[in-house]
């Protein structure tokens, strides 16, 4: 499938989805929302893909919604002009809200390679990914509150889960940006590397995960998010069921053989 505002590259079980409007700091438009949602759906059903990397072209990850497009009636919510009424709600749910939900529900692990500023729903998309890696150029900005607004696409669901309730409250209530070092110490970034090494380190992390057992990793992702909304006893029953599924897979048999033979495992995702 061809796209106008993003690119999708596939290489050895890894997909790289790149926001591709560098002249606008990868700010979002309605067309871009649609293309990202379509790409996530396509990649989720692609059995050859085991890991998704999300990043931005140029010097930004994503600067939020394109205010210029919004003022022309082509965008949706922005910090300048929020989406209002039933039509606005539908745009949010079907646009950035669907992106955030799609990443969280995606069976494959997702990595945000935050190459620059992540603002507005750019922050929300980064936090909706399972892992985040950044550099000294990384910066998270959520300034909705400074215009009397709230994060409108569901991304705030991740804030307290990723950075803790206190830091999440500070971020939402003040609108102050979070710089790279603070993002690492707050747990927003899993890794903080030099800008010139970001692509290399991102792909090394993606390769490490892609070389693992896909069945077990997919089930582990489900368990992690299921555990956020259930009690321990219920979770234990689900974990036991998933362990039975993983244990019956060819991947598990290969993992045990490789461990006994002291060699790297070659997983097939079955």
Would 227 be classed as within a structural domain? yes
Confidence tier at 74 by pLDDT (50, 70, 90): very low
Rounded to an integer, the average pLDDT of 18-27 is 96
Would 268 be classed as within a structural domain? no
- Amino acid 141: pLDDT: 93
Instruction: Report the DSSP beta bridge partners of residue 54.
Output: 17, 112
Residues 162 and 250 in one domain: no
Rounded Cα–Cα distance for residues 110 and 121 (Å): 17
Would 270 be classed as within a structural domain? no
Q: How many domains does the chain have?
A: 2
- Amino acid 80: pLDDT: 41
Domain boundary among 170, 186, 210: 210
Residues 77 and 146 in one domain: yes
Confidence tier at 21 by pLDDT (50, 70, 90): very high
- Amino acid 270: pLDDT: 85
Give me the CATH number covering residue 255: 1.10.12
Least confident of 18-27, 93-102, 182-191, 205-214: 93-102
Residues 138 and 239 in one domain: no
Helical pair 232-247 and 214-226, crossing angle rounded to 10 deg? 170
Residues 24 and 138 in one domain: yes
Would 82 be classed as within a structural domain? yes
Owner of token pair 């500023």: 117
Q: Which residue has the higher pLDDT, 270 or 75?
A: 270
Q: Give me the phi and psi of 172, to 5 degrees please.
A: -75, -35
Residues 220 and 179 in one domain: no
Spatial contact of 119 and 111, defined as CB atoms under 8 Å apart:
no
Domain boundary among 167, 193, 210: 210
Residues 96 and 159 in one domain: yes
Confidence tier at 25 by pLDDT (50, 70, 90): very high
Residues 180 and 232 in one domain: no
Residues 68 and 94 in one domain: yes
Residues 75 and 181 in one domain: yes
Q: pTM for the complete prediction?
A: 0.89
Domain boundary among 210, 235, 250: 210
Residues 221 and 94 in one domain: no
Q: Which domain does 225 fall in, by range? A: 214-261
Residues 136 and 59 in one domain: yes
* String of DSSP letters for 175-235: ---EEHHHHHHTTS-SEE--GGGHHHHHHHHHHHHHTS-HHHHHHHHHHHHHGGGS-HHHH
């Amino acid at each position: 499938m061809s796209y106008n505002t993003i690119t999708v590259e596939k290489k050895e079980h890894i997909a790289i989805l790149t926001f591709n409007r560098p002249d606008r700091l990868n700010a979002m438009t309605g067309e871009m929302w649609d293309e990202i949602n379509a790409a996530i759906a396509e990649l989720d059903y692609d059995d050859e893909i085991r890991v998704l990397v999300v990043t931005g072209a140029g010097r930004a990850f994503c600067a939020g919604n394109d205010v210029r497009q919004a003022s022309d009636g082509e965008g949706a919510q922005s910090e300048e002009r929020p989406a209002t009424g039933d039509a606005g709600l539908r745009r949010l749910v079907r646009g950035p809200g669907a992106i955030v939900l799609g990443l969280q529900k995606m069976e494959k692990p997702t990595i945000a390679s935050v190459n620059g500023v992540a603002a507005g729903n750019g922050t929300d998309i980064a936090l909706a990914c399972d892992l985040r890696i950044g550099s000294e150029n990384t910066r998270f900005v959520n300034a909705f509150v400074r215009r009397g607004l709230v994060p409108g696409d569901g991304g705030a669901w991740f804030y307290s889960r990723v950075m803790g309730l206190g830091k999440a409250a500070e971020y939402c209530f003040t609108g102050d940006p979070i710089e790279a070092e603070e993002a690492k110490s707050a747990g927003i970034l899993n890794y903080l590397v030099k800008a010139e090494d970001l692509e290399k380190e991102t792909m090394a992390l993606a390769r490490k995960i892609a070389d693992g057992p896909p069945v077990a990793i997919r089930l582990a992702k489900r368990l992690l998010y299921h555990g956020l909304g259930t009690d321990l006893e219920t979770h234990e029953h689900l974990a036991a069921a998933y362990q039975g599924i993983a244990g019956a897979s060819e991947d598990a048999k290969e993992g045990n053989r490789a461990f006994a033979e002291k060699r790297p495992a070659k997983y097939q995702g079955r």
